[in-house]
Chain A
Amino acid sequence: MPPPNTPEEGALATASSEPSSPEPAPVPLTAPNSPSAIGFAEFKYIFITKLDYQAIEYVGEVDDTLLCPVCRTPFISPITTPCGHTFCRECIDRALETQSTCPIDRQRIRKTRDYHLCPLIIKEQLDRLMVKCPNKGCNHQCPREHLEGHYKRRCDFTLVQCTGPDCVKPITRRVARKRLGGCMHDEVDCRHCGDKVCSMELDSHYDNDCMGRVAVCSDCRQVMPNPSMTRHKHEDCPKVDAPCKWHSAGCRVFKRRELVKKHEAEGCSFEVISRMLQQQAEDRKRLDEMARHVARCEERHARREARRAARAQAHATAHGTNNNNDHRSIEATHSAAHSAEPSSDGDGDVGGSTEDYVLAQFERLESELEILRQQSRDMDARQSHIILQHAAHFSDQIAEIGSKVGVVNMHLSWLMSLQRQSRSSTAAAAIAGAAASVASGSSSGARPGSSDGSGWRYSGDDRRYSEGGRPESLHRL
C-alpha cells in the first residue's frame, strides 16, 4: 500500500515533461502541507527498468524449502499444483509448455485450471525474507514485501527517463530530482576549466576531473586543483597525521607526516622486523609450494602403483580364464602383459625418480652447505692472520717509539746533571771573583741571543758558550 502522501502508482508511470502530449501538462504534484512530499514524489517519473525479482539478492541463507525447484530461487508469486508441489507461477507455466506433467512427480496438470492458491503461510514467509535493493549504489535492505515500494517511490538510484523533452536515456532519480526541466544529457561548459561536460555529471566532474577549480589545503595551506586534494591529503600533505611506513610491523608512530618522514629517515627500528617478516612470508610461500609439489608427486606415484597393481591383477585373471582355450590367446595375453610391463615399469621409474630427485636435491643442498662452512672457516683464518700481521707492525713501531723516548730521557737527564754542575760551578765562581763578572757584563750581554739559538746544538763551542752565557742571561731576565 502506498503511503498516504505519495501519488498513486499509476500516476508514476504517466508521461511527465512532454509539452505536446495529450496528457495533462507536467504539473508537479505538490502537496504543500505534507512534509513527506519534499523528499520525493514531487514529479511524475517514467521508469526505465522493471524490478526483476529473480535477480535480487537475498540477505543470508534462504531455507531450501522456499526455493522453486525449477529456477532455484525463492518463489515469486507461487502457486500450488493438485499434487501439492509449489512453483513460481512463471516457472510452472513455462514447464507445462513442453510437458503437461508436474516436474517433480510427473502427475498430469492442466495449465492454469489446476493451479491452487499457495498457502498463505508460505507467502508470509516469502514476504519476510530480507533482500537488498537491486539498484547500483543503493545499500538499502528490507523485507521482500517492501522492496517494490522502496524501488518505485523512495530509492534514489532507480532509473527514470531523462527530464529532457525528447530524451529517453535513463538517469537516476537523484539526478532527476535535482534539476527539473532540461535534458540531463546536454553538454554544458564547465565554468572553471571550460571543458564540455554532460550536465548530469557536472557534480562529479567538479569533484574528480576539473583541473580549473582550485582548492586550498586546510592543513598546509597549499593551493592545488580540486581533484588532487584527496590524494594530497592521503599521500603528501606534511601537516596531516600519518602512520610510519613500517606500522604493519608494529611501529606505533602516528604523527604529522613531516615528523614521520624524519622518523623514517632516522631509521625506524621496525624496518628490520618488517623486512624479516616479509622474508619469512616469502619463505613460507616457497615452502608451501614445495609441500604441494611433493604431495602431488606422491599422489601421482600412488595412482600409478594402484593402476599397475590393478592391471597386473587383471592380466593374471585373464590368463587364468584363457588357460583352457587355444594357445594363440594365451600368447596374446602374454604379449599384452609384456607390452604392459615395460610401460608400467617406466611409470614406476618415473615415480621413483621423483623421490630420487627430491633426495638428490637434499644431498646437493647439504654438500653446498658443507662447502659454505669450509669457506667461512678459511675466511676466518685469513682474517685473523691479517690482523696479526697488522698488530706485529704496530708493536714494532711502538717498540721504536719506546726506544726513542728512552734516548730523549737519557739526553734530558744528562742535561739536567750538566745544569746542576754548572750551577754549582757558577756559585763557586761568584764567590771567587764577583768583580770580574761585573766587568765582563757588557761583553756577555751582547752574546745571549746567539747562545739561545745554538745552545742545544751539542757542539763543543756552543757548550762552552752556554756554560758561561746561560746563567748570566737567566740572571738578567
Chain B
Amino acid sequence: MSFVEDSQNTAPGGVPVNKRSGAQKDAEVGQKAVKRLQTELMQLMTSPAPGVSAFPSADGNLLTWRATIEGPEGTPYSGLTLKLSFEFPKNYPYAPPTVLFRTPIYHPNFDFSGRICLDILKDKWTAAYNIQTVLLSLQSLLGEPNNKSPLNGEAAKLWDQDPTLFKTKVMERHKDLEDD
C-alpha cells in the first residue's frame, strides 16, 4: 500500500517536496540515528546487561554517550570501573561510533590516550551492532586481549610473560574518575 504523497499536489503554493534538498536528507538521516538511539536507551534501561551501563551525556545531545564497564572477575581488571565515551555519527547505525576509554587503562589493545583497536569498531562494523554489544565485546576483550595486533606492545608482551607485573602496571595506571 503506497502512501499518497502530497508531492502529487499540483495546486500553486502547495508544499514543494518533489526534490529533497541535501540538507533535508541529512536532517532526516540524523533523525533516524536519534530514533535508533532512543530505542537503544529504552532497551538498555528495561533490560540492562550485567557489568555494563550507558547513558546519554548530560548536555541532552543524544549523539554523545557516557558508558561504564565493570572489570570482569578473574582478569587483572576485576573490581575496577572503566569509563568510556561514545560519539555517534549522523548516519549511525550504518557507520560505527567513536569509542574512547576515558579512564586511563593498561591493555594490549588500548593506547594511553584511550583509543581502541577493535575490528568491529572499524571495518568489521555492521548495522546490527549496538551500544550493548559493543560494550560486551570490550568487556570480553579485557579478559582476552588480541595480542596479534597490539596498540601497546609492552602490555602484549607482559600479558604472556609476567602476569603479576602486568597486574601491577594495571593498578598503577588506573585512576578513578569523578563523574562529570
Contacts and interface: CB of A to CB of B under 8 A. Distances in A.
B167 A91 contact: no
Contacts of B36: 71-72
B35 interface: yes
Contacts of A70: 93, 127-128
Interface in A85-123: 91, 94-95, 97-99, 101-104, 106
Contacts of B124: 106
Contacts of A21: 10-12
A460 interface: no
Contact of A15 (B9, B15, B94): B9
B14 A317 contact: no
A55 interface: yes
Contacts of B171: 310-311, 314
A321 B1 CA distance: 74
B65 to A, nearest CB: 15
Contacts of B13: 166, 168
A104 B120 CA distance: 12
Interface string B1-27: 101111011111111000000000000
A306 interface: yes
B53 interface: no
Interface residues of A, number: 46
Contacts of A104: 126, 128
A317 B164 contact: yes
Of B4, B11, B39, B126, chain A has the most CB atoms within 10 Å of the CB of: B11
B168 interface: yes
A311 B169 CA distance: 11
Given A15-B9, A15-B14, A47 B93 contact: no
Contact of B128 (A50, A69, A73): A69
A22 interface: yes
A294 B128 CA distance: 43
Nearest to A104: B128
Nearest to B47: A64
B1 to A, nearest CB: 6
Contacts of B136: none
B90 interface: no
Contacts of A306: 79
A18 interface: yes
B95 interface: yes
A103 B10 contact: no
Contacts of B165: 318, 321
B137 interface: no
Contacts of A12: 4
Contacts of A20: 12
Given A72-B43, A97-B94, A168 B15 contact: yes
A208 B171 CA distance: 66
Contact of B4 (A47, A101, A168): A47
B7 to A, nearest CB: 9
Contacts, number: 97
A106 B168 contact: no
A98 B79 contact: no
B3 A317 contact: no
Nearest to B93: A70
Interface in B75-109: 79, 93-95
A73 B39 contact: yes
The winner among B5, B127, B168, B172 for most chain A CB atoms within 10 A is: B127
A13 B126 contact: no
B40 interface: yes
Nearest to B126: A103
A318 B43 CA distance: 45
Given A69-B128, A95-B94, A13 B9 contact: yes
Contacts of A168: 13-15
Interface in A132-180: 148, 152, 161, 166, 168
Contacts of A321: 164-165
B9 A46 contact: yes
B35 A54 contact: yes
A106 B127 CA distance: 11
A70 B13 CA distance: 38
Contacts of B172: 314
A9 B5 CA distance: 11
B32 interface: yes
A430 to B, nearest CB: 123
Interface string B161-180: 00011011001100000000
B130 interface: yes
A72 B40 contact: yes
A22 B10 contact: yes
Contact of B1 (A71, A94, A148): A148
Interface in A374-403: none
B26 to A, nearest CB: 14
Contacts of B35: 54-55, 71
Contacts of A317: 164, 168
A355 B4 CA distance: 71
Query: Which 8 pairs between the two chains have the least Cβ-Cβ distance?
Result: A103-B126, A13-B4, A103-B128, A15-B11, A69-B128, A95-B127, A18-B11, A70-B127
Given A23-B11, A95-B126, A161-B6, 13 more contacts: A15-B9, A15-B11, A15-B14, A46-B11, A50-B5, A55-B35, A71-B36, A71-B39, A98-B95, A99-B126, A310-B79, A314-B171, A317-B168
14 contacts: A12-B4, A13-B5, A13-B8, A14-B9, A51-B3, A54-B35, A69-B127, A73-B39, A104-B126, A106-B124, A148-B1, A148-B3, A166-B13, A321-B164
Interface of A: 9-10, 12-15, 18, 20-23, 46-48, 50-51, 54-55, 69-73, 91, 94-95, 97-99, 101-104, 106, 148, 152, 161, 166, 168, 306, 310-311, 314, 317-318, 321
